A and B are shown apart, each in its own frame.
Chain A
């Protein structure tokens, strides 16, 4: 597709747009005089880290910001020659959902959980096209088929919770397409989805766009998607567009230092070496976590959800075992079961000691050797404790008689190790960014000087640049403290950068395992192949291999 088609009239022209927020008497400029335009049939990507103002920009095109807390100090938004910024709410509503539609990030919360998908689609069609009854039904089935929902007739009565994440996002897209909009705004539409599903949704968006010749404003933090999907890209930082341009040019010859940093932010692959002779730190044999399904008055167990179903793995000292798989494949459950944070059946041997049946009290002396870092840096730190208190907590449990001086020294050393200024230890978590919080969580784990650390998607909630830093930090810590990692992630690029061995999981079972290098080079199962293709090339797999 050629982007330099300058003769074509612009569909959307944003000029000098600023967005400010008033909050507690303070004013905050979220978007600072940005300009861009989109032509018919073109895809423009807005890319940047969280807080760069890309979502705010998208929402201001729809005028969906929380006015009057939000306001526009300057600028104009011109859509099909009409100025949107000063249009009254009644007029805007005609544009919204009709000419311009939006697909949000979170498919679970964007659909009303109490209505069937038919009802939700019917509402839109009735509102903007006045279709009703039989005609509307035909249109709904057509739309659902168009977005790739198989046997659309039978899914009409489904409620959102009966659909998978990918299907929900497809329904959202169907709703956005119902009125054949001229412009579709996609606000991180695949961030909440699995890599395999992400590839499918991107392909769908691309297909539909070329079929309907519609323009798309695509908001993402993922450069891989931009490269695959967009014609032109605007790189945003701190509310400003630092570099606009055609995708090819920006990717091959970036001009702005920030763009260059973003492109270089790919985590460097340098996994921990295999150590076939090192002692085994953790070994599981036929580990099972089954959640019973109870039915009826007597709560009879009628079956089990097999979250982890007979998994046997072994991690050797100094190695990193990567565990990958789609969401729902039991990766996190496995990690929690190994640390004995949820109950399980089967054997777990930790440092030569069977720990499967141990009581809470008996586990206590072992706990300081096994630690965990969670995915969400916002949820895993108690908001009411200072950083120093958070890190100290484990020391209080395991070394209650440690003199305060030494305790403080340990905290300072842990903070220094994870690259934080020890002087910040009296602050509270909310004063730190996501990446810094994840470092605090890591400091909490390493302050106990553990042997084994479970890393449960520690990088997924972080921005690209921070992600790469985090990967470097984890590797550095591992070398310095001779740590053994169990690295759980769906982000294969990060896994490739860290893991010495790999376990691929699906439906609670191990599909494939082996040294990471070999597995990445020659995956044996179709599932693994599909996973890799989706993650590295955003390619879809034939139907049936992965979840839809």
Chain B
């Protein structure tokens, strides 16, 4: 047992200098050494590492979109009591409006409402952008699509300024990136659109990976006829023109978030099958799989405990790329007009408007830069993940 301390690395190193896992030194025990090395590798790729942080920041930020861009204030103090409009719906009557509309939802953008609140020694705390993705701006100085407010000349907004009794354009409620042809605020739509895209992409990725991994695992592990039949089925399935089917289905069903998810799921799960199948085919001949079978461990357990972790490496490597392609698919469908229902915040729809309104470049540019930024970040993260999981990657 004296060989415990001897270093076994050099001989192996001669053949594959990067193959050895470096034993951990002084870090928390939670991460296994292999994962620790991967994390170090990932961090070493500065571009991917920062992309991850930027992406996470944007994602978490947009998750709270209601608190950034909303036509309701965070909080209202009225008559000594506090109200939280984003969380609860209050009627007009709550705030002292006593006419035929008193049982409808409160419209906090209404100037009468704001006046009533002020009279009762109250105030409204507004988010930075006072529009939601579906808030019409009725006070547009120019016909929609309207320029970003800071680009407006005094002459252009004179009418609105005078109507509202303000001094200049700078006192208007800002549309930072202008409005689209419905009079919706572009900035708000970007924030909500980003959230929808990423959430849609994530859901699609997770569910389709789940199905794909399961299908690939079964095929690879059992092989033989199971594999043969399943593979032929997948070949036929992938030959179905997905886009046409989508057009047909979306003309029958009303497309919504979940309907679209379902339709895309029908075809996207195949992406990982081949990969996982190959990993399982390779892995099932490992001696420790044979050893587990000799112990009497059941097939399901072997697949789950012994083989799946191996296949997960390949899967993890692909996930960011699948995510970006899912996002792209949704954007493309929206662009073509077969995506989310009209009125919902969507980057593809924004791009479509940009195409239709070339005289309003802020639409196309805002859409383009957001989509470009999001996809670039995802690709950079994907590259870094891929390199981090590559066992042959030099560890510098």
The chain A residues found within 8 Å of chain B, CB to CB, are 19, 21, 23-24, 26, 28, 30-31, 50-56, 59, 65-66, 69-70, 238-239, 336, 339, 341, 363-364, 367-368, 370-372, 374-376, 379-385, 393-394, 397-398, 419-420, 428, 430-436, 441, 444, 448, 465-466
Q: Can you pick out 29 interface pairs between chain A and chain B where the beta carbons lie within 8 Å of each other?
A: A19-B10, A21-B9, A21-B17, A23-B13, A23-B22, A24-B396, A28-B13, A30-B9, A50-B11, A51-B8, A53-B10, A56-B11, A59-B14, A65-B14, A66-B17, A69-B394, A364-B296, A371-B295, A376-B287, A380-B291, A381-B291, A382-B288, A384-B309, A393-B292, A394-B295, A394-B296, A420-B1, A431-B23, A433-B6
Residues of chain A within 8 A (CB-CB) of B306 are 382
User: Residue B290 at the A interface, CB < 8 A?
Assistant: yes
Residues of chain A within 8 A (CB-CB) of B4 are 432-433, 436
Question: Are A374 and B291 in contact (CB-based, < 8 A)?
Answer: yes
Q: A336-B290, A371-B295, A448-B295 are in contact. List 15 more A-B contacts (CB 8 A).
A: A24-B22, A28-B9, A69-B394, A238-B6, A364-B296, A370-B294, A379-B287, A379-B288, A382-B292, A393-B292, A394-B296, A397-B297, A398-B296, A431-B23, A444-B291
Residues of chain A within 8 A (CB-CB) of B21 are 430
CB < 8 Å A-B pair total: 135
Question: Are A26 and B22 in contact (CB-based, < 8 A)?
Answer: yes
Question: Are A368 and B1 in contact (CB-based, < 8 A)?
Answer: no
Contact indicator per residue, chain B 366-396, by CB within 8 Å of chain A (1) or not (0): 0000000000000000000000000000111
Closest beta carbon of chain B to A236's beta carbon, Å: 11
A436 CA to B4 CA, complexed, in Å: 8
* CB contact under 8 A between A393 and B295, given known A23-B395, A374-B287, A376-B287: yes
Residues of chain A within 8 A (CB-CB) of B310 are 384
* CB contact under 8 A between A239 and B10, given known A379-B287, A397-B295: yes
Question: Are B287 and A436 in contact (CB-based, < 8 A)?
Answer: no
Closest beta carbon of chain B to A292's beta carbon, Å: 13
Q: Give the residue among A56, A59, A383 with the most B Cβ atoms within 10 A.
A: A383
Selected contact of A381 from candidates B9, B288, B297, B298, CB within 8 Å: B288
* CB contact under 8 A between A51 and B10, given known A367-B295, A380-B291: yes
A349 CA to B351 CA, complexed, in Å: 74
Residues of chain B within 8 A (CB-CB) of A394 are 295-297
Residues of chain B within 8 A (CB-CB) of A385 are 305
Q: How many residues of B contact A (CB 8 A)?
A: 40
Question: Are B7 and A50 in contact (CB-based, < 8 A)?
Answer: no
A24 CA to B9 CA, complexed, in Å: 13
User: Residue B148 at the A interface, CB < 8 A?
Assistant: no
Residues of chain A within 8 A (CB-CB) of B293 are 341
- Smallest CB-CB A-B distances: 9 pairs: A30-B10, A367-B296, A380-B287, A394-B295, A379-B287, A66-B17, A24-B395, A374-B287, A24-B22
Contact indicator per residue, chain B 6-30, by CB within 8 Å of chain A (1) or not (0): 1111110110011011110000000
Question: Are A380 and B288 in contact (CB-based, < 8 A)?
Answer: yes
Contact indicator per residue, chain B 270-299, by CB within 8 Å of chain A (1) or not (0): 000000000000000011101111111110
Closest beta carbon of chain A to B40's beta carbon, Å: 8
User: Which residue of the partner chain A has the closest CB to B21?
Assistant: A430
User: Which residue of the partner chain B has the closest CB to A385?
Assistant: B305
Closest beta carbon of chain A to B55's beta carbon, Å: 28
User: Residue B110 at the A interface, CB < 8 A?
Assistant: no
User: Residue B155 at the A interface, CB < 8 A?
Assistant: no
User: Which residue of the partner chain A has the closest CB to B310?
Assistant: A384
Residues of chain A within 8 A (CB-CB) of B11 are 30, 50-56
User: Residue B121 at the A interface, CB < 8 A?
Assistant: no
Residues of chain A within 8 A (CB-CB) of B291 are 372, 374, 380-381, 441, 444
Residues of chain A within 8 A (CB-CB) of B395 are 23-24
* CB contact under 8 A between A341 and B294, given known A55-B11, A419-B1: yes
Residues of chain A within 8 A (CB-CB) of B23 are 431
Residues of chain A within 8 A (CB-CB) of B153 are none
Residues of chain A within 8 A (CB-CB) of B298 are 397
Question: Are A23 and B294 in contact (CB-based, < 8 A)?
Answer: no
Question: Are A384 and B6 in contact (CB-based, < 8 A)?
Answer: no
User: Residue B3 at the A interface, CB < 8 A?
Assistant: yes
A305 CA to B394 CA, complexed, in Å: 44
Question: Are A363 and B296 in contact (CB-based, < 8 A)?
Answer: yes
Q: Give the residue among A368, A398, A431 with the most B Cβ atoms within 10 A.
A: A431
A448 CA to B296 CA, complexed, in Å: 11
A211 CA to B395 CA, complexed, in Å: 47
Question: Are A51 and B295 in contact (CB-based, < 8 A)?
Answer: no
Question: Are A339 and B294 in contact (CB-based, < 8 A)?
Answer: yes
Residues of chain A within 8 A (CB-CB) of B20 are 23
Question: Are B296 and A397 in contact (CB-based, < 8 A)?
Answer: yes
User: Which residue of the partner chain B has the closest CB to A372?
Assistant: B294
Selected contact of B286 from candidates A26, A370, A379, CB within 8 Å: A379
Closest beta carbon of chain B to A332's beta carbon, Å: 11
Selected contact of A70 from candidates B17, B18, B288, CB within 8 Å: B17
A70 CA to B305 CA, complexed, in Å: 38
